[in-house]
Amino acid sequence: MGKLIEDMMNAGVLIATDGLQPSSKGARVRISGGTFTVTDGPFAETKELIAGYAIVEVTSKEEAIEHAKRFLTLVGKGEGEVRRMHDALLTPTPTASTPLAPCDSFARRHLGSNSEEVAGMLATLDHPSLDALIDAAVPAKIRLSEPLKLPVGRGEYETLEELRAIAEIIHDIDLKDNKFGRDEAVGIRTMIDGIALTTPDDLERIARGTEVFNNLYEVFGKKRQ
């Protein structure tokens, strides 16, 4: 599932996705005649429950159905429902002829400009290319002469998984209840204690402790590759 999510996010198709916890941890809220009724889960009378969701940006219902099939193939069994969001129907997409059209839908807020939008922007600003626009807008003296040496990019799903692992380690170190059973907690705690003993300066402790967790984040990232 992780590989599918990564591929769809890298392709700019997947906007958001997550699984839902069991209904035993939820509640139903109903209103009738102005009176609210709250029923705690689980819901024994329910034959079907929503187990998760995915928000995708595609060009047709048929394309959305194909993505739903990919999800269900990995799940193995079950049923998915394809629905269109209201903002996808009501919010116009800016074009070269309408460069200032509203673009405040969920999908539009979370994705970069597409090729048509870039072309419209360049036409409006009268520049033949993005490079030409950058040359005109960004002073040469503040520009780098070579590309940034950045690490391999991570998607939202991978980043959250790595941060969750670090959060579990911090929990086990801090509360000492071994709730998550992280084997790394003892070693990391020893390192943090060592930093605290070797310097009395709080800022130095924070800097060196931050470096420990930055390295830990990189380790979890490499484990997923």
| Residues 161 and 219 occupy one common structural domain | yes
Q: What is the mean pLDDT of the chain?
A: 79
Domain assignment of residue 111, yes or no: yes
Cα(120)–Cα(84) distance, rounded to whole angstroms? 27
Domain assignment of residue 151, yes or no: no
Domain assignment of residue 176, yes or no: yes
Domain assignment of residue 150, yes or no: no
Asked whether residue 212 carries a pLDDT value surpassing 70, the answer given is yes
Asked whether residue 88 carries a pLDDT value surpassing 50, the answer given is no
End-to-end CA distance of the chain: 14
Asked whether residue 11 carries a pLDDT value surpassing 90, the answer given is no
Full residue range of the structural domain in which residue 120 is found:
90-141
Give the chain's domain count. Answer: 3
Q: State mean pLDDT over 90-103.
A: 50
- CB neighbour class for 23 (10 Å; exposed up to 12, middle 13-18, buried from 19): middle
Directed axis angle between helix 130-137 and helix 115-125, to 10°?
50
Of 94 and 116, the one with more pLDDT: 116
Q: State mean pLDDT over 40-52.
A: 74
Cα(24)–Cα(42) distance, rounded to whole angstroms? 4
Q: What is the pLDDT, as a whole number, of residue 47?
A: 66
What are 67's strand-pairing partners? none
